Structures are given as structure tokens and as C-alpha cells.
Structure 1
Amino acid sequence: MTKNHVVSLFFCLALLIISKGVATAQSLTVPVNVGVILDKDTWAGKMGLRCISMALNDFYASHGHYKTRLVLNFRDSNRSVVRAALMAQDLLKNVKVQAIIGPVTSMQANFVINLGEHSQVPIISFSATSPSLSSLRSEYFIRATHIDTYQVKAISSLVQAFGWRAVVPVYADTEFGEGVIPFLTDALQEVNARIPYRSVIHPSANDAEIAAELYKLMTMQTRVFVVHMPPDLGSQFFAKANEVGMMSKDYVWIITTGITNHFSMVEPLVNIPMPGVLGVKPHVPRRKRLDHFITRWKWKSRQKNSVDANLSIFGLWAYDATIALAMAVEKVGARHSSYNSTHKHLRDVLASTRLHGLSGDFHIVNGQLRSSAFQIVNIIGNVERVIGFWTEKNGISKGLNFTSRNMYSTSKQNLGTVVWPGETIYAPKGWVIPTNEKKLRVGVPVKDGLISAFVNVTRGSSSSTTVVTGFCIDVFDAVMTALPYNVPYEYVPFVKHNGEMAGDYNELVYQVFLGKFDAVVGDVTILANRSLYVDFTLPYTESGVTMIVPVKDIKEKNAWVFLKPLTWDLWVTSACFFVFIGFFIWILEHKENEDFSGTRAQQIGTSFWFSFSTMVFAHSNPLSLHLNILDKHKLEASFPVTNATLLFFLSFGLCPECRGESGEFVVIIWCFVVLILTQSYTASLTSMLTVRQLEPTFTSVQDLMTKGETIGYPKDSFVLQLLKQFNIDSSKLKEFNVTSDLEVAFSKGSSDGGMAAAFNEIPYLKLFLEKHCSKYALVGPTIKTNGFGFVFPKGSPLVPDVSTAVLSVTEGDKMVQIQKAWFGERTNCPDDASASLASSSLSLNSFWGLFLIVGVASSIALIIFTSTLVFEHRHTLMHFVSEIYGYILAR
């Protein structure tokens, strides 16, 4: 036998051994029947089946040593809910499958899940996203896809980022479409966005029906739409929206994962015309393994000449779900030889599966695929462009960083440049003036009298036109001008045919709720009960309700008014110092000055006369009168000597005859004090006797109630309800029609059918005081209110922007100009410019420094005098002390 023959024999023997080993290994694997229910004729069904087959081939190619093998039993549901249920029943009863993958739609899955629960067989869906399936509480339902509720937070963050206040959801009239709406509503409410309307599209709607709904949406203010429907219906809907002109400027379209999850990862978007649309979709990290899979997918599609070459995230989830099922079956099969009782164990393993799949971190928690992050995409042409990301931890961000410690953000600055419908990069404001109304109808009240300064309605040259002016009108015009966009509007008086106002202010505000007015402008107070059915802007006037009363002149009505310039403590202190100075001079002078000699009574009289004479002769007599008493020398002067002149001489040593005497030093300082005190007293008394002293007749509600006075309140006003908190007798409350009636009512008084005080809002009362500021005053407590505001319908998108404009106007010079134009200068008082409040009395706090100087000077003079006296009589004093000391020793 040759060498070649030996080699050939050896090779055949080895091949025989290997093939026998493989056959033996295959005979040792355990087949596990698994059902697959998909719609064979749909793109999602074809893609899902192909991904499932590729997953099994890839898995067992790399895990050939596993003892289990999944055997697929495919059933076509043919887009029918009933057929899907029948196919599931066939798989469960006849084939005895251990699990079912599918079906595609949420409606089909609803019935199949019930069958799986009854048979205790896991149902694994990679495309049923409706939240309603979670309410079934089936332990055997494994959702290998994201539930629709995951995306609502991402959508609401987008709405909050751009400041949109109203959103209209557009969804399919199916269980899939309706399931997410309650969760979307809650998420939008959390960011202060409301849903004024819900647009429901039937899944079998034709183009005419869709167009009719689109035209209805065009007549509304809201221009932000969230579209949640299957891709085939979405393609039809957006094609018609593009046709009717709703893919243009000012429109905002946000699509949910119901459409974005079907975007192909292979081919451009050619079937869904959505230029400028925003969307959210699950983030799939691009890895080499995914790129390799996509390459294989393209190669297989070209090999089979398949027209359905699209691959979406549902295909990746189908792939990962199949891998997870194969791993779970192997894990359960390694511990259990019989598969008839392993359904529960298989369910438990599947419910907590985690692997790194094609879609990323494929982590099932409690039977639900966990979400990690969403991409925010912008459709430009037929290409989707990622402009940002959203995560539950960080909100909107430019990139993904799962370890970031940044705060949650909803800032649009974290997004890339967005190309909106109409090929503009400027974000739409989210609303427009409805196309069926040219201008906003702004209702205004109709009032006469002084109150017309706020809103005044007059007839124009023709009977059909009206001219509306006033403070409130000018403020509203300035606010609307300050808006960053133009809003056309017209004023419509709330008036009857006879020219009278058609109701009170509550009825005027209610017209906005009824839709008869788009807004109300006027002296309308912001109240809690009105805010229940309308929205107010920020106030543009001073807030509060207070009391106005007449004032009285108290001049010359007090016989002791001459005591009022000084307070009692200043009077007492001055008197004490007069006595103190007299006593001090007597101590210093009575030994050497013969004017202080005589009896005790004469000495006391002379001392007091000297002290008080400094005040009596302070303005006319020369001070030398007092100095002559002290030093017995006449001050020679060739000119009249006044107090000020003599004090100047004494201070600078120009009176040599007067220096060196302690009494003179004290008198100089005391004269300064007396001069200042008398001048201040004279000025204060003059003011009290010549200037009007105005005083409120009442200062509190308690005073009015105690004396039984009548209190007024404006007719048809909320002020009456506020007054009830004071527990005022209803018989003592009187209403008045307009602010100008106050003067007549006050002149009559409570005893003659008038009133003693009145309550009203501060803007009205200040307007009244502009013409009567010397007759009345605001007193008493100020009841807090919210001021005047502009009225808009509940949830109006104009309110935030108008409120911002109100702040801009009220904080600037424009408001000052408007106030001057209608109310004049606040400092002017046309009735009596000299009127003022009562002058306050002078107190000791203003003069205690002067008295301190006098006291310190007197003390220093006394110390010097005593020291000099002791020094001059030291020998006599020492002799006297010696005698006393000797006398003590002798005792």
C-alpha cells in the first residue's frame, strides 16, 4: 500500500469519527418549541422574523455546546386580532410551545397575553408599547420594548424648554393611540402646559377626513402638536398636513416613538414627509457589533433582492429578546429535565434578564425593558439629525454622560440648532391668532364721572364708532407694543343699547369665559373667585383697599397752644437748669458781689431774677446788664452792645475787665443755650399759629363703630365682602355710585344721610385726592388685594408674555408718563398748597447736648472756684483742722 493511500485512509477515518461525534452531540440536544406570531405581509413582521432567525443562528453558532435548541413555530396573524388569538391558542394547545414571541400590535397582544396567563406560558413582545397592557397585571407578559409612557417626560421637557403653554395631542383612535394620552396629560400639566383640544384620527380615515380635522386645527390658537400614531397612518397624516399648508412657519410638530421607532437604520426617510419635525426615540449606542450586524443585514437584503431592507429598533429588540429567551431556556433546562413544568421558572428568569445586546443595555426589570436615554431628533429633508439627548437623571443635554452630577435641565441651550417647519431656525411661539378671527375682541367697561379717567368710552363722529381712552387703555396699548410680536386687537364696549353698562364687573369678566371677549381691559381687580374661570396678568397698579376720611383744622382751638412747641420733658429740664444756673451764680458771687447780698429771700430772688432774665432779655438787652451785676464794673463801649457782640468779645478776650471770673464763663455758655432754645421755640410756635394743622376726623374703624358713624363702600363692588370681616352693623354701611359722590356724602355727614368714612381701592382714592388733597386723608388699615390686571381666557398663551411686558412697562419711564398724563403731578395740591399735617413738638432729644455742655461748664467752674477758695484760705483751714484734731485727741 502506498503512502498516499495510507494518508487517505487516515483522513476518512478521522472524518468518520468527527461526523459521528457531531451526530451524537446533535442527538443529545433538546428541542424547545417556541411560537412566533407576526404579520407576515407587514414590514415589521418580515423584519422581526428575519431578526429572530439571525439571532438563533448567531447564538447557537457561538454556543454550540448548549444542550437546548429553540425550534421556531411561525404563525401569521394576517393583521387580525382574532386570528392572532386563534394562532396563539393553536400553539399553546397543539404544539405545546414553551413561550410565544409576538404579536406585533398592542391590540393583538392584549388577547394573546390573556391566553398566555391562562396557560402559564410567557408571552414576549418586542413591539407592543401600549401602557394599557400593563394594567392586565399578567405575570407571564414580558415586554421586550419600551413602554410608551417612558417618552412623555422627554416630550414635556421639550415643551418646557421652549416655553410652550398649550399642546394639542393628535393620536390614532386605537388602544395603542389612547393608552399614552393620560400619561402625556399629566406630564404636560407638571410643566404648566395645558391641552385645549384632543385630535383623534381613525386608523382607517381617508384623506378627506384627515384634511377636515387639519382644517379644524388651523382655526385654533395652539400651534404645538404631539403626534402619536402608527407609521402608516402617520405617513398619510403628514402628507395631508403638508398639502394643506400646515408644515409651514409657526407650526410645531413633535412625533412620538410610535413613528420614530420605525425609522430605518439603513435607508433614508422617503415615505414620511416631515420637514422640521421634532421627535424622540430610544438611544441605541453604535458599537462594532451593531455595525457588523447592519452590514450583514444589508448583504442578506441584496442577496434576496428584498424591497423591505429597512431595519428599525424593533428589529434589534426582536434580536435581543430571542437571545434572552435562548439563554433563559438553557438556564432552566440545565436544572430541569422535564419542560412541562418549567414555565414558571422560565418566566422568572426572563423577568430579570440582563445582557449587552444590539440595542444596548438590554435589562428587563419585573418583566419590563428598562429605559436608559432618548435621542431628540430633528427631521431635515429626508434625514433625521440628533440635536440632543434626554435622560431621567439629567434632563436635556447635548451629550450623554451617565456619570454626570449635573442638575436636571430643561434648557433649550442644551439642544443643537433646530430647523423648524418653513425652513426657519427661530423657534415658534407655539400659538397664533386664529385664522377665523382677524383681531382680538377686547371688552372694556363703561363708566361715568371721575372713574372715567381709567376707562372712558365716547361716541365717534359716526354713531357706529366708539373712541376708548383712559389710563388702563394707555397701559394696555403700551404693554401690547412691548410684546416681541404683533397682536391685532380692537376695543368692544360692554354696553347695552341705551348706552349703559351691560352688567357689573363680574359679568364683564365672565364674558371672557363664555368666549364673547378674547380679553378684558379696565379697572378690573384680580380676585380669587374670578381666577377660577379666567387668567389674569400681573397687576399694573398699586394694590389694596383702604379708608378715606375728612380732615379737620385744629389751629387756634387750644388755649394752651403756647406750651405745645416744647415737650414736657424739655420744659422740666429747662426749668431745672434755670434754677441750677441761678443757684450756681449765687454760690460764686454772693460773697463778693453786693448785688447778691441782703436777706436770704433777697439773695434767692436776685439769683432767680438773674437766671430768668437771660431768657427775657435775650433778643434786645445787652448782656453787660448781667456782667455789671457780677463784677461791679461798667463795660465801656462807644457803640451799642448786643448779646452776640458781647459774647464775641468775651470769647476772644476783647473784654479784659470781664476775664477770669467763673461766673462770667458760665453766663456766656448759658446765654448761648438760651438763645438757641428761645429761637427754636419762637419758630415752632409761629408755625403752629400760622400753618394749617390738619388732623383726620377718625383714625380707625373702631372709632367709627364706637361712635356709630356711617361707612361707605362702592356700589356693586367686592369691597362690601371685605368690610364684613370688621363685623360692622349692616345699617351703618352705605353704598355710593361713583367716586365723585364722596364729596357730597362727606359734606352731609352720618347724621344727614351721608357718611363719615369710605372704603375703596387705592387707585380710586388717590385719583380723588388729586383734586381734594387738603380736605381728606387716607387712614386706617390697608386690606391686601392684588390690584388691577388684564383678563384673558383660562390657559391663554398670551398671559405669560403680556405679564412680562407689564413688568417692562411698569418698571420703566412709560408708566410714569402715563400716570402724569391722566393724574397729573402727585406733588400738586390744587385746593391749598400750604396745607400740611400738624407740626411736631420739640423734644429733649434735640437739645440734650446743649444742657450737657452747660452742666459740664458749670461743674468745671465750680471746681476751679472751690480749688481757688481752698488755696487762698489754706492756712486758716489747716489751723481749723488742727484744732479739730486736737480736740478729738483731748477727748
Structure 2
Amino acid sequence: MEAPFLINLGNQTKVPIISFSATSPLLDSLRSPYFIRATHDDSSQVHAIRAIIESFRWREVVPIYADNEFGEGILPYLVDAFQEINVRIRYRSAISLHFSDDQIKKELYKLMTMPTRVFIVHMLPDLGSRLFAIANEVGMMNKGYVWIVTNGIADLMSVMGESSLENMHGVLGVKTYFAGSKELMYLEARWRKRFGREELNNFACWAYDAATALALSIEEISNVNMRFNKTKTNTSREDIGTDLDDLGVSLSGPKLLQALSTVSFKGVAGRFQLKTGKLEAKTFKIINIEETGERTVGFWKSKVGLLKSLQVDQILYSSRRLRPIIWPGDTIFVPKGWEFPTNAKKLRIAVPKKDGFNNFVKVTKDENTNVPIVTGFCIDVFDMVMRQMPYAVSYEYIPFETPDGKPRGSYDEMVHNVFLGVFDGAVGDTTILANRSHYVDFALPYSETGVVFVVPVKDGKEKGEWVFLKPLTMELWLITAASFIYIGIMVWIFEFQADEDFKKQRIIDKISNVFYFSFSTLFFAHRRPSESFFTRVLVVVWCFVLLILTQSYTATLTSMLTVQELRPTVRHMDDLRKSGVNIGYQTGSFTFERLKQMRCDESRLKTYNSPEEMRELFLNKSSNGGIDAAFDEVAYIKLFMAKYCSEYSIIEPTFKADGFGFAFPLGSPLVSDISRQILNLTEGETMRAIENKWFLGEKHCLDSTTSDTPIQLDHHSFEALFLIVFVVSIILLLLMLASRRYQERQGKVSPNKPNDQANAAQEEVHEEGNVGDHIVEVDTTDFKDYAL
């Protein structure tokens, strides 16, 4: 109350008002240029408090503050800081200076009934000592509680006394930090000499620096007129509310204000330099209060965060954690910050009422007491998770049903009731969806994920007059045919250089012989020996490729003609849309919206409540008002397939879904703890035992998922073989050309020589002839090289 009065007075008289003790951020709202804060305001420590909360991963806090301008000033900054790290302020506890001990005790008892165990105390030492004395009396300084005090208490602990320190054992504090300097050491020595044991606190240091800054500024404007203008102001009596009309306006005030805003020196509290009319805090000390005093456990530094030490090397390699802390209850184990009190009411957990798929959730009523009995896979998982929680949680299941026992609404409506506070959570086969996450927080999923189509199967044995073409894909047929033509061309080239009879044939005969030779290798029926060495090598490689290709073709065709296969009536969901058949979905499921997003005709969508109803719809088919496909989550489909896997199949694709999850209100700390227990459960054998209890039939049913296309041999399976043939043929061609070129250079063979020698030999034979027993001798010396 004093500060606004003086600030208003200084604003009207244009006299700078310098304060070293007014720390409330609310004073900034006065927007007076003549108010100078030679201290840190309380909002500067908010980031240090946030860093502590974030470091220990606490999700909820309760601020306890003095019910005055000092206490309320920090609240908006705390709220903003905690929102940035998704920490919820469950309740605000305002304690007045005029509260009796009984009133304070009543407020603390109220806090004990809440699950939050992290308290941030912002008040001055006189009220703080009363608060902690009563908290220790009612048992709130025991194991599991977390208390953090601001510098309103931490900076003035010397005035609280030893008894107050005993009551605050285990409390964390955020304290203003002044780096050691020669100026501070000199002032402390002078202080002890004059005042003895009385502590030199932070406010004394700020007062000393403020007086120094004022003296320097006065010296700078010593030549300015220091008098007041006695001109009467129009608003003095009305605004100030006192008889101060005789006060004038300072002639030197504006100059003094300018000098103060520019003064800069190294003071006992650090660098004194006013920015935006106040000092800025860059470092805070984190202390742990014990019975004998305080112990430093770390520091908070702007732009760095939490540190164990301010040494340069430790700043570079700091783990952003504090030193070991002694918590309330004299324990070193970090409190969880959240516990269910023994007198707290039971959590109301909503469970869906289902007419089918009761393996997941089943709601019945006791015949004698009419009390709901909830069982199922989801219930067993939740019960096991809650038994493994590190603290006891009391809860009860509330069926989401009407008074007459009918389902009360869809799963979205049940989740929305959790958001409205009707229920404290929802357990069951509730799928984690993006639109639902706007209203609740989900724990990690505990079931299989995905949404699929299931369709009936048919006899997959291949039939038809063109079945012999189906073992190979069209691409492989074309590549094989092209390979035969290529081999024929290469044989032509090789034989043309080696076989004289081949050269004399007509072009039609050449083509027919070459390609007959090439295609007859398919059946290994090539009887005519080749004259070229290169042809023989190529044929050997080609026959090896044909052997593999024909054997693979034979095996695939045999499988298609003889093996009994079950194949889906539809291979892809696009075929379902085009065919216009009816599609089934589970009543109340989100799959209805998914089908509409896939542009499925709503008139073609049918609902079912159980695997038996789904089976009946499949038997009726679309022509009789049934369905030819169903769209549902993998967990439900697996339950259906466990009974009818030989008659139905899952088709591709599989659509994304995050599986089943437990839902709780936004910001609930239960979510993180339950998620950890779900991970422990799913990674162990317990989850398998629960699954065997409710889905034992799945062990006897093979996975019936199928692909989009039948099994065929494609060109990718034989790429290496065709590549080998091509490479070998090219190498043989190059070797033939190189051999031919070498012989020409040796002069033994010319392009016309073979024909000339052959003609000469024929003429010699005709001249000498073969008369009677006379044997004609022909000199074949010149033919040796060519024959080889």
C-alpha cells in the first residue's frame, strides 16, 4: 500500500522514487517513469522454479501465497511458466496475514485431501514460519511431500529462528545469488565490525548499491537547479488523497532520472545497471533447508538452466541436475508429487456397455445385490496395471448405460463425459483417436493396432483354358520370347563365320534353321551340331537358363492346378467401392466415420454387435441384405477369425489406428504412471497369460491375411540369369571378332581366300577325276588354318 502512494507522489512531483524492497511485479502496472526498482522483482525467479519442477517431472503443483499484493503478484507469471511445460495448477491457496492458526490448519487439511503433493510457498518469513509449524503438526512434512519456497523466505531465513528451520527440514528454496567480490567482502567486514552477528542480507546490499547510484547521479547533475517549482498541480489533492498541495514539481527530477538510468558500476550485489527501470536477475542459488541451516544443491543460470556448480568446466558438462537432496521425512528418494490420500473418494471409471465382443468388456449384474459385475480382457489389464502402481488407487467401475441396462451412447460420448468431469476415467476397448485426444489424455496402447477389411474366401484352384499362361507374368513371357530371338541372332552371327553350307542357304532357310535351332533348345531337341565353337559355348549357357526356367514354370503350374488354395473374393478395398457391395461395421465404432471418409455409400453400410451377427450378415450376402465385407479393428477381427478363419480372409491395405487405451482427464498425473506399468506388463509374460485367458482360440487358427495378387513368377526372379546370357554372348562376340582380326593380320586368311581355294580344289578334282580305282589326291595344306 505504501509503494503505490509514493510512486504516485513521485510521478506528480517528478521526483525519482528508488526502492530496494518493493519486489511485487504488480507495481509495474502503475507505469510510472519515476519509479526505479533497485532490486529484482519476484517474477525473475519463476524460471528457476519451473526448471526444478520440470527436472523432477512433476505434473501438478499448488501455490500457497500470502493474500496481499506481495503474494498475488507472482501468480500470473507462475501460471504462464507452468503452461509452457504442461504442468497443471490444481488449486490456489491464499492465506491471509490475519488468519488464525485454526484457519491455516483448516486450509492445510483441505490440501491434504487433494492428490497433489508439490507446494510452492510465496510469502514473507513471519507468515511462512507459522505455516510450516502447522504443516509439521498436521503431518505434511512427512515422506512424499514437496515444498519449494521463493526468495521471499529463502533470502530472510536468518530472521526465522532455529525452531522454524527444524519445521522446514527438507524444503527446497530459490535464493538470490550474489557472486563473491572484493566490494562485497569489504562491506561485510565493515558490517560485522559495526553490527556484530546481525546478517548482511540481500536487501541491505541493494540499499547500499542504490545509495551509491544515487550519489553518482547527484554528482553528475550537480550544476542543475535543485529547487521545486511551486506551481500548484490540478490533481494533487484528488489523486494523492492528502493535503500535499504545497508540494511543487522538481526542476532537477528529469535530469536525475536520466542520470540514474545511465549509471553503471560494479556494486556489492553485482553489476548495477538499470534496464527498463529495474535490475535483472541472471543467477539464483538452489538451497536445501536442514535443521542446522541451508545447504547449496545447485544453481539456476539464465540461458543455461539448472547446474550443480558455476565453475566453467562443470557448466559445459553439467547434466542439468541438482546435487542429492534431503526431502521431507528425511529421505533421499525423490517424491512422486502425486498420491491418493486414504480418505479420498474412489475414482469413477466408466466402462462401455456392449451387446457383443464380450471377451473385451462384459457388464452383468449380480442376481442378489443387483451390483454391476465387470469382466473382460480390458478389465483384467487395467486391474493388473493398478495393482502394480507404486501407490494405492481406489476406484470403481461405472457402466456407461441407461437405467434399463441399454448402452447409453457411443464411445465418443463416453470419452466426452470424462472431459466434463462426470467420470474420472474410461476403461475398455476405447480406441486412441486424434479427435478424442482433444478432450482426454490416453495412456499407452495395450492392444494390437490397425483397422482392416475382412472378406469371404473362395476356392483358389486355377481353372480355365488359358491357365497355362498364368505361372509367368506377362513381362516374363515377353522377356523370354525376346531372349529366344536374341539367341537366334547370335547363333546366326557365329554360324555365318564358321559354316560354308550355312552361307549357301537361302535367306528363308537361314532364318528357319537358326530360330528352329534356338527354340528347340527349350525342349533340348537341337540335333544338328553347330560348326562354331562360340555357338556351342553360348548354347550350353542358354540351356542352363532354360533348365531353371522350365522347372520353375512346371512347379508353379502344378501348384495352380492341384493345390487347394483359399483366396479372397475381393483383393483390395478399391474393388469393394467399385463393386458396390454392402460393408459391415461395429455399432458405435469410429469405423463408420472412416468408411465415410473413404467415400463409401452410407446406404451400403450395415451394423453388427457381435461376431455371430457379423457371420450371419456374411451368409446373407449383399443380395439378401447382408454384407460382403466388414471393416473393423484388428483386435475384433482376430476374435472373429479365431472362429471362422477357414472361411474368411483379411485383405490389404491395413489402415492406421493406435489401438485400445485408458482415458483420463487432461493433465492427469495418472497417465504417465499407468503408461509405465503398461510397458512393464506388455514386455513380460503377464500380458500373454491374460490373452490366453480370453483369446485361447486364436492359437488354433493360422493367419489368413492375403496379398493383392496371386503368386506368379515375374522377371525379377530371373534377372540374373538373363543378364548372364547377355554378358556371355557379348564376350563370345568380342572374342570371335578379335580372333578374326588376328588371323587377317597374320596373312593367313583373307576375305576372298577361302572361296578361291575351294574353287581351285573343285577344278582339280574335275580335271583329274576319279576313274576306276584311281584315287585323286588333293593338296589340303592351304585349308588347315581355315579348318581349325
1:454 lines up with 2:366 in the alignment:
no
Residues 878 and 484 of structure 1: CA distance in aligned 2, closer, same or farther (over 3 Å): farther
CA contact (8 A) 2:307 2:315 kept: no
The RMSD of aligned alpha carbons is 4.5
Q: CA shift at 1:768, angstroms?
A: 2.7
Distance in 2 between the 1:312 and 1:505 partners?
A: 60
1:760 aligned partner: 632
2:777 aligned partner: none
Distance in 2 between the 1:344 and 1:215 partners?
A: 53
Q: CA shift at 1:213, angstroms?
A: 0.8
1:173 lines up with 2:47 in the alignment:
no
Of 153-162 and 462-471, deviating more is 462-471
Matches within 5 A, 1:104-503: 107-264=1-158, 270=164, 273-287=167-181, 290=184, 293-294=187-188, 297=191, 300-301=194-195, 309=198, 311-336=200-225, 338=227, 340-400=250-310, 406=316, 413=321, 415-437=322-344, 440-449=347-356, 451-457=357-363, 468-477=374-383, 479-480=385-386, 487=393, 489=395, 491-495=397-401, 499-503=405-409
Distance in 1 between the 2:151 and 2:26 partners?
A: 16
**Higher radius of gyration, 1 or 2:** 1
CA contact (8 A) 2:300 2:306 kept: yes
CA contact (8 A) 1:578 1:612 kept: no
CA contact (8 A) 1:320 1:359 kept: yes
State the AA in 2 paired with 1:321. Answer: A
Distance in 1 between the 2:283 and 2:309 partners?
A: 11
User: What's the CA shift string for 1:842-878, capped at 9, x where partnerless?
Assistant: 548525267559968997999999999x989997623
Match of 1:848 among 700, 710, 722: 722
CA contact (8 A) 1:266 1:311 kept: no
Q: CA shift at 1:248, angstroms?
A: 0.9
CA contact (8 A) 2:214 2:260 kept: yes
CA contact (8 A) 2:37 2:279 kept: yes
Distance in 1 between the 2:267 and 2:516 partners?
A: 115
User: What's the CA shift string for 1:190-246, capped at 9, x where partnerless?
Assistant: 122111111111221111111111111001111001111222221221111111111
Q: CA shift at 1:317, angstroms?
A: 2.2
CA contact (8 A) 2:572 2:653 kept: yes
- Which consecutive residues of structure 1, in runs of 5 or more, have no partner in the other structure? 1-106, 303-307, 632-658, 884-891
User: What's the CA shift string for 1:474-520, capped at 9, x where partnerless?
Assistant: 44455456655555555554455655444432333244335454332
Q: CA shift at 1:674, angstroms?
A: 5.0
The 3-state SS of whatever aligns with 1:388 is strand
Residues 742 and 297 of structure 1: CA distance in aligned 2, closer, same or farther (over 3 Å): same
Q: CA shift at 1:698, angstroms?
A: 3.3
CA contact (8 A) 2:355 2:609 kept: no
2:437 aligned partner: 531
Q: CA shift at 1:156, angstroms?
A: 0.6
User: What's the CA shift string for 1:352-402, capped at 9, x where partnerless?
Assistant: 333333333333223212223211111101512222111212211122358
The 3-state SS of whatever aligns with 2:289 is strand
Q: CA shift at 1:751, angstroms?
A: 1.7
Distance in 1 between the 2:493 and 2:123 partners?
A: 107
Distance in 2 between the 1:416 and 1:581 partners?
A: 83
Distance in 2 between the 1:417 and 1:405 partners?
A: 18
Of 526-535 and 133-142, deviating more is 526-535
User: What's the CA shift string for 1:661-688, capped at 9, x where partnerless?
Assistant: 9998887666655544433222111100
1:572 aligned partner: 481
User: What's the CA shift string for 1:409-453, capped at 9, x where partnerless?
Assistant: 8x562x22211111111111111013323764443334343x223
Q: CA shift at 1:334, angstroms?
A: 4.0
State the AA in 2 paired with 1:385. Answer: R
1:725 aligned partner: 597
Of 274-283 and 809-818, deviating more is 809-818
CA contact (8 A) 1:771 1:831 kept: no
Residues 290 and 663 of structure 1: CA distance in aligned 2, closer, same or farther (over 3 Å): closer
User: What's the CA shift string for 1:742-794, capped at 9, x where partnerless?
Assistant: 22222222221012323222332343334434433333554443332211122
Distance in 1 between the 2:123 and 2:451 partners?
A: 55
Q: CA shift at 1:152, angstroms?
A: 0.7
| TM-score computed with the length of structure 1 as normaliser | 0.71
Distance in 1 between the 2:301 and 2:152 partners?
A: 19
CA contact (8 A) 2:582 2:605 kept: yes
Q: CA shift at 1:725, angstroms?
A: 2.4
Q: CA shift at 1:701, angstroms?
A: 4.8
Distance in 2 between the 1:403 and 1:136 partners?
A: 44
State the AA in 2 paired with 1:315. Answer: A
Of 854-863 and 326-335, deviating more is 854-863
User: What's the CA shift string for 1:79-131, capped at 9, x where partnerless?
Assistant: xxxxxxxxxxxxxxxxxxxxxxxxxxxx2211221122112222222211111
Distance in 2 between the 1:473 and 1:721 partners?
A: 27
The 3-state SS of whatever aligns with 2:581 is coil
Residues 716 and 834 of structure 1: CA distance in aligned 2, closer, same or farther (over 3 Å): closer
The 3-state SS of whatever aligns with 1:728 is coil
CA contact (8 A) 1:352 1:365 kept: no
1:791 aligned partner: 663
Distance in 2 between the 1:221 and 1:793 partners?
A: 14
CA contact (8 A) 2:308 2:314 kept: no
1:552 aligned partner: 458
Of 765-774 and 115-124, deviating more is 765-774
CA contact (8 A) 1:266 1:309 kept: no
The 3-state SS of whatever aligns with 1:160 is helix
| TM-score computed with the length of structure 2 as normaliser | 0.79
User: How many matched pairs?
Assistant: 729
The 3-state SS of whatever aligns with 1:535 is strand
Distance in 2 between the 1:829 and 1:577 partners?
A: 50
State the AA in 2 paired with 1:117. Answer: N
Matches within 5 A, 1:640-789: 674-779=546-651, 781-789=653-661
The 3-state SS of whatever aligns with 1:146 is coil
State the AA in 2 paired with 1:877. Answer: N
Of 210-219 and 606-615, deviating more is 606-615
Distance in 1 between the 2:22 and 2:737 partners?
A: 108
Distance in 2 between the 1:259 and 1:663 partners?
A: 101
Distance in 2 between the 1:294 and 1:587 partners?
A: 113
Distance in 1 between the 2:439 and 2:756 partners?
A: 103
State the AA in 2 paired with 1:878. Answer: D
State the AA in 1 paired with 2:42. Answer: D
Residues 792 and 700 of structure 1: CA distance in aligned 2, closer, same or farther (over 3 Å): same
- Which consecutive residues of structure 2, in runs of 5 or more, have no partner in the other structure? 229-249, 762-788
